[in-house]
Amino acid sequence: MTSLKKVKQALRLLPALRLVWQAAPNWTLVYIIVLVIQGILPLVLLYLTKLIIDTIVESVNIVDKISNFQQLITLIALTGLVTLATVICNSGAELVNTAQSRRVADYMSSILHAKSIEVDLEYYENPQYFDTLQRAQNEATYRPNRILNNLVWVAQNLISLVTMVGLLLSLHWGIAGVLFVAAIPTVLVRVKFSKILYTWHRKKTAMERQAEYLSWLLIGDIFAKEIRLFNLGTLFSQRFDRLRFQLYKENLAISSKRAVATLIAQALATILMLSAYTFIIYQAYQGIIRIGDLVLYYQALQRGQDSLKSVLGSFSALYEDNLFIANLYEFLELEPKIIQPAHPQPFPQMQDGIRFTNVSFQYSTTTRQALKDINLTIKPGEVVALVGENGSGKTTLIKLLCRLYDPTNGSITIDGIDLRDLDVVDLRRQFSVIFQDYVKYNFTAQENIWLGNTDLPPTQDSIAAAAQRSGAYDVIKRLPQGYDTMLGKWFDQGEELSIGQWQKVALARAFLRNSQVIVLDEPTSAMDPKAEAEVFDGFRKLIKGQTAILITHRLATVKMADQIFVMDKGTIVETGTHEELMLRGGTYAILFETQAQHYR
Ligand code: ADP
């Protein structure tokens, strides 16, 4: 590894501290102060102990016993005060720590959320993204704070360590040396196993996610019905157990090895330390040092060992933090590819319309092209339909049009302006799209519609008008609290709707949006024929001059379209009006006849 890279890695700790500071500056400051005081108080106590012992030893040869006794009392009182301060400090630290770490955890969640919104849709269709997200989530809530703690502990223990080493040096340099040598094996063990665990965790993220997925299947509400009917509970539960057991076994194997290595390292340390203790006791035995000194050195050695252990422990922990925090940055540093152009143009009031020129597209995770050489024009105010088999590329075409992805080849323009030159937010503002897998928000009915256009105040009038247009009005009217009824089953008093009813609510959301283009992907697939007819019979009036793109399998509903694009395997195979395509007798005509026969 180059030294530059090493320096860069070492600096990984700093951004984490910045995050902690941004999350809760006041609490963090108080926390640091408390930790520093906590570090100093034991030293004061130790010094007081030495003074007490010295005073007692002196009293043997002294005449003025009373003043000696008074001095002793003062020292004991001071010891009491310092002990009290320690207790207060400890409970204060607990409170401050709880408050501070909660603030940091919440802040980190909001940072993860912000990043999740920022990244492209593409990431959500890619398993590696979820691995990265999972690892980041594992680290985000506690790791930055741990770094802060470890740094403060290093400082705290360094103060104590330097004092103790100073004391021991005054006795014999060898004692101080033993202290350090004894600590080395433990540190080496820890560093080695940090690396092993880090690599293991990275390798196992996918497996952990599989287990989590199974757990989600077992407890998630949307799966409950099917899991019972197909009796899949035990199967999934066993699979979950197998995965977790495998992870447990592997982790245990590493942990056992680490335990043995640590044991050996500590046994070595103990032997070395024991020889140092023997040396000090021998010195006292020989009368070279006094009893007070014996206690002082003895304690200094003990505390020195503890402090050194803590310092080195914190350093090893920092090393580990430095490795693992990379998981968080990896996620935070994901670069969106769909970026705002340097000089974005506003979305025009369409005159010429939408044009696809030789557009091809391939998902990065596949080897096939989902769209091949698409050419089409849609004029403002036109109603067009995309028809074709499943997987023929209809939804992909819409995703490109809303710039959820950029074409691999070719270009899409609005009035001659490339989508990549338009303001991204403005562009998406001008489309109201309801995909087949639209969201059923577990909010009130009113909010479910209002979310279509949050620029509007959430007043009843506009929402009711949108609900009227989509047919949701009749559904909502019958709900116990009307527009204020909570929808879905997640929250108290939620009312579950049928799929067709949900579809009407989603459609109302699209109608509320006031966009230039409305895109509906199978918008009425779950509605009854009457409701569907209501939507499509008056469709042009319903959309009030908007340009409309419909994706549907029900060819009866696309008869009224100005243009119909028939797609097959990523290409457009036929274009025309219903009448033109029927006359042509191609794919569309055959499909239409098959469906019509069904109804007759
Ligand atoms: P349609 O809407 O006509 O049913 P799609 O546009 O959803 O078809 O899919 C077109 C092709 O692209 C299909 O072969 C499908 O498997 C593939 N595809 C769709 N979404 C993704 C994705 N996120 N990642 C990879 N391939 C995809």
pLDDT tens for the chain, residues 1 to 600: 556 666 666 667 888 889 899 999 999 999 889 888 888 888 888 889 888 988 888 887 777 778 888 989 999 999 999 999 999 999 998 999 899 889 999 999 999 999 998 888 888 888 888 888 888 888 888 888 888 888 888 888 888 888 888 888 887 788 888 888 888 898 899 889 989 999 999 899 989 999 999 999 998 888 888 898 888 999 999 999 999 999 999 999 999 999 999 999 999 999 998 988 898 889 888 988 887 788 878 888 888 888 888 888 888 888 888 888 888 888 888 888 888 899 999 999 999 999 999 999 999 889 999 999 999 999 999 999 999 988 999 999 999 999 999 999 999 999 999 999 999 989 999 999 998 889 999 999 999 999 999 988 877 788 999 999 889 999 999 999 999 999 998 888 899 999 889 999 999 999 999 899 999 998 777 788 787 877 777 788 888 889 999 998 888 888 889 999 999 999 999 999 999 999 999 999 998 888 888 766
What's the confidence (pLDDT) of residue 476? 95
What's the confidence (pLDDT) of residue 6? 64
- Report how far residue 54's alpha carbon sits from residue 58's, in angstroms, rounded to the nearest whole number: 6
Whether the CB of 143 sits within 6 Å of ligand 1: no
Contact by Cβ (8 Å): 508, 467: yes
Whether the CB of 231 sits within 6 Å of ligand 1: no
Q: How far is the CA of 474 from the centre of ligand 1 (A)?
A: 35
| 368 Cα nearest atom in ligand 1 | 14
Residue 43 burial (CB < 10 Å; 0-12/13-18/19+)? middle
444 φ, ψ (degrees, to nearest 5) = -70, 165
Whether the CB of 365 sits within 6 Å of ligand 1: yes
Nearest to 518 by CA among 405, 351, 385: 385
Q: How far is the CA of 371 from the centre of ligand 1 (A)?
A: 9
- Report how far residue 477's alpha carbon sits from residue 473's, in angstroms, rounded to the nearest whole number: 6
Strands (E), 441-562: 517-521, 547-551
Whether the CB of 366 sits within 6 Å of ligand 1: yes
- Edge-to-edge strands of the sheet including 354-361? 371-378, 354-361, 409-414, 417-418
Tokens at 65, concatenated? 């016993």
Q: How far is the CA of 370 from the centre of ligand 1 (A)?
A: 6
Whether the CB of 393 sits within 6 Å of ligand 1: yes
Nearest to 544 by CA among 361, 381, 386: 381
- Report how far residue 86's alpha carbon sits from residue 78's, in angstroms, rounded to the nearest whole number: 12
| 389 Cα nearest atom in ligand 1 | 3
| 551 Cα nearest atom in ligand 1 | 2
Contact by Cβ (8 Å): 377, 402: no
Whether the CB of 367 sits within 6 Å of ligand 1: no
Tokens at 492, concatenated? 């108290």
Query: Side-chain half-sphere of 462: how many Cα atoms within 13 Å?
Result: 18
pTM: 0.79
- Provide the residue count of the chain: 600
Q: Degrees (nearest 5) of the Cα angle 5, 8, 9?
A: 90
Nearest to 214 by CA among 230, 227, 200: 227
**DSSP per-residue codes, 294-351:** HHHHHHHHHHHHHHHHHHHHHHHHHHHHHHHHHHHHHHHTPPPSS---SSPBPPP--S
Contact by Cβ (8 Å): 486, 493: yes
Closest protein CA for atom 17 of ligand 1: 370
The end-to-end CA distance of the chain, in Å, is 75
Q: How far is the CA of 393 from the centre of ligand 1 (A)?
A: 6
What's the confidence (pLDDT) of residue 220? 84
- Report how far residue 449's alpha carbon sits from residue 452's, in angstroms, rounded to the nearest whole number: 6
Closest protein CA for atom 24 of ligand 1: 363
- Report how far residue 231's alpha carbon sits from residue 235's, in angstroms, rounded to the nearest whole number: 8
Classified as helix, coil or strand, 54 is helix
Whether the CB of 482 sits within 6 Å of ligand 1: no
β 409-414/563-568 pair status? unpaired
Tokens at 39, concatenated? 């570090």
- Report how far residue 99's alpha carbon sits from residue 101's, in angstroms, rounded to the nearest whole number: 6
Whether the CB of 392 sits within 6 Å of ligand 1: yes
Whether the CB of 395 sits within 6 Å of ligand 1: yes
What's the confidence (pLDDT) of residue 537? 78
Q: How many C-beta atoms lie closer than 10 Å to residue 327's C-beta?
A: 23
CA dist list (Å): 307 to 43, 154, 186, 205, 300: 11, 9, 14, 36, 10
